[in-house]
Amino acid sequence: MEEPRGILIKGGKVVNEDCSVISDVYIENGKIVEVGLNLQIPGGVRVIDATGKLVIPGGIDTHTHMELAFMGTKAVDDFYIGTKAALAGGTTMILDFVIPQRGKSLLEAYDSWRQTADPKVCCDYSLHVAVTWWSDQVKKEMQKVTKERGVNSFKMFMAYKNVFMLEDSELYAAFSQCKEIGAIAQVHAENGDLIAEGAKKMLSLGITGPEGHELCRPEEVEAEATQRAITIAHAVNCPLYVVHVMSKSAAKVVSNARREGRVVFGEPIAAGLGTDGTHCWHKDWGHAAGFVMGPPLRPDPSTPGYLMDLLANDDLSVTGTDNCTFSVCQKALGKDDFTKIPNGVNGVEDRMSVIWEKGVHSGKMDENRFVAVTSSNAAKIFNFYPQKGRIAKNSDADVVVWDPKMKRKISAKTHHQAVDYNIFEGMECHGVTVITISRGKVVYEDGQLKVSPGSGRFIPRKPFSEFVYKRIKQRDQVGTPTAVIREPYKGEVISL
Site residues for Zn ion per CB under 5 A: 188, 279, 282, 322
- Alpha-carbon span 67 to 75, nearest angstrom: 4
**Which residues contact ligand URP (rule: CB under 6 A)?**
65, 188, 244, 293-294, 322, 324, 343-344
User: What does 279 bind: Zn ion, ligand URP, none (CB cut-off 5 to 8 Å by kind)?
Assistant: Zn ion
Residues 285 and 331: their CA atoms lie apart, in Å, by: 10
Rounded CA separation 261/255 (Å): 10
Q: Choose from Zn ion, ligand URP, none: what does 293 bind? Cβ within 5-8 Å by kind.
A: ligand URP
- Comparing CB distances to ligand URP, the nearer of 150 and 294 is 294
Least spacing, CB of residue 65 vs ligand URP, in Å: 5
Q: Of ligand URP, Zn ion, none, which one does residue 343 interact with (CB within 5 to 8 Å by kind)?
A: ligand URP
For residue 258, the partner it binds in Zn ion, ligand URP, none, with Cβ less than 5 to 8 A by kind, is none
List the one residue out of 161, 88, 90, 81 whose CA is nearest residue 121.
Answer: 81
Taking the least distance from each CB to ligand URP, the nearer of 273 and 324 is: 324
| Nearer to ligand URP among residue 63 and residue 361 (C-beta) | 63
Based on CB atoms, which residue is closest to Zn ion, 282 or 340?
Answer: 282
Cβ 413 vs Cβ 495: under 8 Å: no
Q: Which is nearer to ligand URP, 242 or 371 (CB)?
A: 242
Smallest distance, Zn ion to C-beta of residue 321, A: 9
Q: How far is residue 281's CA from residue 211's CA, in Å, rounded to a whole number? A: 5
Least distance in Å: CB of 51 to Zn ion?
39
Closest by CA to 57, choosing from 93, 101, 85, 105, is 93
Report the nearest approach of ligand URP to the CB of residue 243 (Å).
7
Q: Which of ligand URP, Zn ion, none is residue 349 near (CB under 5 to 8 Å by kind)?
A: none
Minimum distance from residue 342 beta carbon to ligand URP (Å)? 8
Closest CB to Zn ion among residues 134, 241: 241
The DSSP bridge partners found for residue 97 are 128
Q: How far apart are CA 307 and CA 315, in angstroms?
A: 9
Q: What is the closest distance, in whole angstroms, from the C-beta atom of residue 423 to ligand URP in the complex?
A: 12
